[in-house]
Amino acid sequence: MRQSAPLRELARETSLEARHLVLPMFVREGLAEPAAIGSLPGVVQHSLDSLKRAAADAAEAGVGGVMLFGVPSARDAIGSGADDPDGILNVATRAVAAEVGDALVVQTDLCLDEFTDHGHCGVLSASGAVDNDATLERYCSMALAQARAGSQVLGLSGMMDGQVAAARETLDAEGFQDTLLLAYSAKYASAFYGPFREAVDSQLQGDRRAYQMDPGNRREGVREALLDQDEGADIVMVKPAMAFLDVLREVRNAVDLPVWAYQVSGEYAMIEAAAANGWIDRRVSVLESLLSIRRAGADVVLSYWAVEAARWLR
């Protein structure tokens, strides 16, 4: 069954198409020109203008969607920029939604870490720990701001307990029943987020192990996905992807929702660095990594290679 290319095509169990890919994008407040990110070669912090152009390019390449992250010029303890209609992420969402219409699905990261001066994903209590329930109030306000700005899928990436139910209830009460919730259900406290922290100028000291998951836990990943399904998630996610393919497969088998995976910044940086050294074939490695994430059970993969891979797959 492997002796010729046509036979291999007939026998291949897993497909990878442009529509299976979502492009994460960064937009930085006050930038006139896009700025390179040292640890993510080929990825930039966009200006509003370059973001709109790049989103239009992504639509043209046929990717399924874009996921927007904002980098504000000022931060405070509660992340005020996150739910301000004039905050960079909400401004960018309106601009991209107007630019691409319904050529692709406009999605936004719903988390406070880019907007807080301490870099944590929530607001802090007097002891300095993240206050789960006070954070939920901030997330609900962000959810409304993002839905009003035209985001169709809100990516709840903060790992607070009850975040899906809280956002769903708020959105429904305000007439946004059709705004979808992507729950980052099994999000691990991972070293592979390193380059992302440079991309968003993260202010974080320390780590997120008090709310993101322990990489040693698989059953807990499944439990988190089932909880989010019960809370009303439309999509559940496993993140990172390549170091957690077993979790991805178990979640795929356990829930009946679409399951997405995030091929994170460190996964991108690893392959780019090895390829730049001539140690591996870049294109073959990128496509194999994406196909493998699909094989493990992801319906859709968030990847910084989304547009380039979509063009290769044409």
Is the distance from CB of 26 to CB of 45 less than 8 angstroms? Answer: yes
Catalytic (active site) residue 52:
no
239 is catalytic: yes
Tell me the closest approach of the beta carbon of residue 210 to ligand PBG, in angstroms: 13
Does the protein bind ligand PBG through residue 272 (CB under 6 A)?
Answer: no
- The residue count of the chain comes to 314
User: Is 282 part of any known ligand binding site?
Assistant: no
* 265 labelled ligand-binding: yes
User: In the complex, what is the shortest distance from the CB of residue 193 to ligand PBG, in angstroms, rounded to a whole number?
Assistant: 4
List 46, 52, 239, 294, catalytic entry: 239
Q: Supply the minimum distance, in Å, between the C-beta of residue 111 and ligand PBG.
A: 3
Q: Applying CB under 6 A, which part among 27-35, 84-92, 105-113, 276-284 lies near ligand PBG?
A: 105-113
220 is in an annotated binding site: no
What is the spatial distance between Cα 237 and Cα 180, in angstroms, rounded to a whole number?
A: 13
SS (H, E, C) the chain: CCCCHHHHHHHCCCCCCHHHEEEEEEEECCCCCCEECCCCCCCEEECHHHHHHHHHHHHHHCCCEEEEEEECCCCECCCHHHCCCCCHHHHHHHHHHHHHCCCCEEEEEECCCCCECCCCCCCECCCCCECHHHHHHHHHHHHHHHHHHCCCEEEECCCCCCHHHHHHHHHHHCCCCCCEEEEEEEEECCHHHHHHHHHCCCCCCCCCCCCCECCCCCHHHHHHHHHHHHHCCCEEEEECCHHHHHHHHHHHHHCCCCEEEECCHHHHHHHHHHHHCCCCCHHHHHHHHHHHHHHHCCCEEECCCHHHHHHHHC
Residue 224 assigned as binding residue: yes
Question: Any contact of residue 264 with ligand PBG (CB under 6 A)?
Answer: yes
Is there binding between residue 196 and ligand PBG (CB under 6 A)? yes
Q: What x-and-dash track marks residues 211-250 binding ligand PBG by CB under 6 A?
A: ----------------------------------------
Chain positions 13 to 52 lying near ligand PBG, rule: CB under 6 A, are: none
169 is an annotated ligand-binding site residue? no
Which of 120, 187, 252, 294 is catalytic? The answer is 187
Interface residue with ligand PBG among 26, 115, 188, 193 (CB under 6 A) is 193
Residue with tokens 């107007």: 98
Residues from 115 through 154 that contact ligand PBG (CB under 6 A): none
| Nearer residue to ligand PBG within complex by CB, 45 or 265 | 265
**How near is the Cβ of 108 to ligand PBG at its closest, in Å?**
11
Report the residue from 92, 100, 111, 233 that binds ligand PBG according to the rule CB under 6 A.
111
Residues catalogued as catalytic: 187, 239
Q: Which residues are annotated as a binding site?
A: 197, 208, 224, 265, 304
Q: What are the residues binding ligand PBG (CB under 6 A)? A: 109, 111, 113, 157, 193, 196, 208, 264-265
